[in-house]
Amino acid sequence: MKRLIFLLIILGLAVVAGVDIAKDPGYMLLAYHQWTLETPLWFGILLWLIAFALLLFISQIWRGVGSLGAKWHAYRAKKRLTRSNNLTIQAILETLEGYYASAEKHFDKAYANAELPLVNLLGAAFCAERSLQAEARDHYLQKALETSPEAEAAIKLIKIQWLMDSGNWSEATHQLERLLKDDPYQKQALILAQQLYQRLGQWDLYLKTIATLRKRKLIDQSSLETGQLRAYDAQLRAHCHKSDLATLNNFWLTVPTHYQQTPSFVLLYSKTLMKAQQDDKAVDLIKDTLKKHWDRDLVMCFGEAVASDSEQQLKHAEKWLSQHENDPQLLLTLGRLCTRTNLWGKARSYLEASVNIEASAFAYQALAELALSHGDYEKATSLYQKALQLAISN
């Protein structure tokens, strides 16, 4: 409706203009040197409009011709990008299917025209790594670093992970330490450092790393304690294996107090002390630990320790009966201590009670040794057989 009204207005104006021109057409005179051109006004205006339209048309054609080169280059670039994307997709599929050599070739071929060249270079590096081509892998990683310097940390982390996977621990350590020197709090670098130091048994560095991880809230308290327990356990075992008592004792003093109460730690340390004939120290350590953490293995170890005062050792163990009267390990320990103090009757009673609650090879062996010491060879033989059967079955 609006368009119709607009057309009617234009038509009305044209009619009015036509009528006015018919009354007085006027004229237009153009002169150049001896040349003159006289024409009605309306025809002159029409000629000017035609000339303007023609000039505009020629200008459009000229611009179109001028942009043909740019459009051709844009078309070629789009075609190359499409081909690169297709090659990249093919390379990704080949990587997932395990055709690493072919995938590496296609990643590399697509790289020059790739929309995201970093992806292609990292893909090619991954394929080279899986194909055990370390030189080619490093080549692609270096090109990736040159192409995307802002991704330096990520590229180095990828290389460190691959070095660790291939067992190249010395180079992985070197690269990781350089990265942490530049950024001591880089999250993934710290996680890799934790794994690396654990694998290499560098427990001091491992402890520092997990402490930093906890400080940065990258691991929880439970993970920190688990890691610390693992580190101190490994260090304690290493020192115990060396049998250097002075070094072991110095290390024990560096272990946090709450870990010195860990039954497995105390057991390992106590047995090493007993091998070094420091049974009294082991006995005191076990007694202190059992006050807070009742542990069957520690109770057994207490009975194996030969204290300078065996009678006092026995009295202390008998005090535990009030709270652990049906503990077979405690009864076995009491039987051994009674045997050591020549309390034969009590020893037999404790050992038989232990066997009745839970038959064990150790208890039968202790009974057999007791029978043998009294010259009852037949009974001793029978008890040794039971101990052997239980040992084999377990």
Write out pLDDT tens, residues 244-272. 889 999 999 999 998 999 999 999 999 99
User: Pick from 132, 147, 162: which residue ends a domain?
Assistant: 147
Task: Check: CB of residue 340 under 8 Å from CB of residue 306.
Answer: yes
Tokens of 209: 């790393």
Does 165 fall in a domain?
no
Contacts for 92-97: CB closer than 8 Å, 24+ residues apart: 92/123, 95/123, 95/126, 95/127
| Whole-number pLDDT of residue 57 | 74
Dist CA 383 CA 370 (whole Å): 10
Q: Which of 112, 49, 43 is nearest to 80 (CA)?
A: 112
| Whole-number pLDDT of residue 113 | 86
pTM of the model: 0.69
Does 288 fall in a domain?
no
Q: How many domains does the chain have?
A: 2
Task: Check: CB of residue 117 under 8 Å from CB of residue 147.
Answer: yes
Does 338 fall in a domain?
yes
- CA-based torsion, 367, 372, 373, 376: positive or negative: positive
Residues of the chain with pLDDT under 70: 1-2, 4, 6-7, 10-33, 37-48, 64-75, 77
Does 99 fall in a domain?
yes
Does 128 fall in a domain?
yes
Write out pLDDT tens, residues 273-285. 999 999 999 999 9
Does 228 fall in a domain?
no
Does 87 fall in a domain?
yes
User: Pick from 131, 147, 163: which residue ends a domain?
Assistant: 147
Dist CA 293 CA 261 (whole Å): 8
Dist CA 219 CA 191 (whole Å): 10
Quote the radius of gyration of the chain (alpha carbons, Å). 47
| Whole-number pLDDT of residue 29 | 65
Task: Check: CB of residue 152 under 8 Å from CB of residue 175.
Answer: no
HEC secondary structure over 9-74: HHHHHHHHHHHHHHHCCCCEEEEECCEEEEECHHHHHHHHHHHHHHHHHHHHHHHHHHHHHHHHHH
Does 233 fall in a domain?
no
State the residue range of the domain holding 364.
309-394
| Whole-number pLDDT of residue 16 | 61
- Which amino acid makes up residue 114? A
User: Pick from 118, 147, 176: which residue ends a domain?
Assistant: 147
Dist CA 138 CA 124 (whole Å): 10
